Amino acid sequence: MAIMLIQFLQQAEHNMYQLPSHSEMIRAFTTSDATYEGIFITGVFTTGIFCRPTCSARKPKPENVTFFKSVKEALDGGFRPCKRCRPLEDLDAAPSWASNLLNKVDQDPAHRWKDQDLRALDIEPERARRWFKSRYGMTFHAYSRSRRLGKAMGNMKNGDRVTETAFEVGYESIAGFNDAIKKFTGQTASNASESEVVYLDRIATPLGPMLIGATNKAVVVLEFVDRPMLPTQLARIQKRFSCVFVPESNPLIVRMKEELSSYFEGKLADFTVPLEFPGTDFQQRVWRALQTVPYGKTASYLDLATWIGDPKAVRAVARANGDNRIAIVIPCHRIIGSDGSLTGYGGGLHRKRKLLDLELGQSQTSMFD
């Protein structure tokens, strides 16, 4: 097994870390598949431009496109950036008007926003509704209401009384506040004050946006937003923590963003942000074993099963690996097949290739060297 892994890694430059197949990239570009953001850039011969996989412009014929690993390669090839999908810009970055609005909500989460407040900032309410819906899955008013109730939850967790909290966050009656809290948490205000708060935010990465969730003590979820299993993971977190989710950042989320940025720049190998990952005893053993696979190295499912003292539990280990809800930091992407092949990854094999390319491209070694 060790020999196969070493041979596999020695051949990595020639097979493992290439672009996806041409047919797969054609499919992804034709269907505007967002999971391929950061994986390839499309050059269009007939126009001389290059685009993101998700460009909304009319798609050219397959014979008129070529693909690159990076914007730099496309520029070096003589192509210029598309003005519609703007491949030189951060896809997840908020436009200036939205950044200004987000800052104002951060400064005063208790403010009860109305459409006239938006118009006073030269923002059309419909524009705000569409942008927040696409980014957060909720309208601006739902977002601001969640922030207001999130602040209320925080206040009550810190010992403030329900009556004081209700008026502080802009409610004119205790009954109205109780109704809002019950819709938000499914509990009365007095019971909800005992619930854990998990703050949710987005993190822009070169491989697409990720959702991060953290309490004030630890990060509890970090997943690519397009992972099909994400709703299931959030439901499990809510059950495990008896928590409510609030769309807001906190110091741990800020710290995680900084560490992820350094990681993708190739400057950070070991994360320091505290994690909390409740699960079955078996899952936790697997997830802890995953954390022992160092940056720049790989292992197999059989290795993991052996390390936890159950070498026959390879399939169960693979399932636990897939149930990992803290991507990259608990490095399930470092697990490959015993024959050296890439195997399933919740964020997509194309992302797994990119992550391993980043890490193994510097050391090109397995755990058996």
Could you list the active site residues? 332
> Are 224 and 327 in contact, with CB atoms under 8 Å apart?
yes
> Are 321 and 346 in contact, with CB atoms under 8 Å apart?
no
Backbone phi, psi, residue 199, to 5°: -85, 135
Dig out the tokens for 308 from the structure. 């936890």
- Could you tell me where the DSSP H helices lie in the chain? 2-10, 22-30, 71-76, 96-107, 115-120, 125-136, 140-157, 162-168, 174-185, 189-192, 230-241, 251-264, 281-290, 301-307, 314-322, 349-363
- DSSP letter at 245 equals E
Which pairs count as long-range contacts for 13-21, CB under 8 Å and 24+ apart, including other chains?
A: 16/342, 16/353, 16/356, 16/357, 17/353, 17/356, 17/357, 17/360, 17/361, 19/67, 19/69, 20/350
> Are 13 and 69 in contact, with CB atoms under 8 Å apart?
no
- DSSP letter at 138 equals S
Distance of alpha carbon 84 from the chain centroid = 25
CA-based Rg of the chain, rounded to a whole angstrom? 23
- Alpha-carbon dihedral of residues 357, 204, 89, 227, nearest 10 degrees? 70
**Bridge partners of residue 243, in order along the sequence:** 196
Pairing of strands 196-203, 243-247: parallel
CB-CB neighbours of 78 under 10 Å: 9
> Are 366 and 31 in contact, with CB atoms under 8 Å apart?
no
Distance CA 367, CA 256 (A): 27
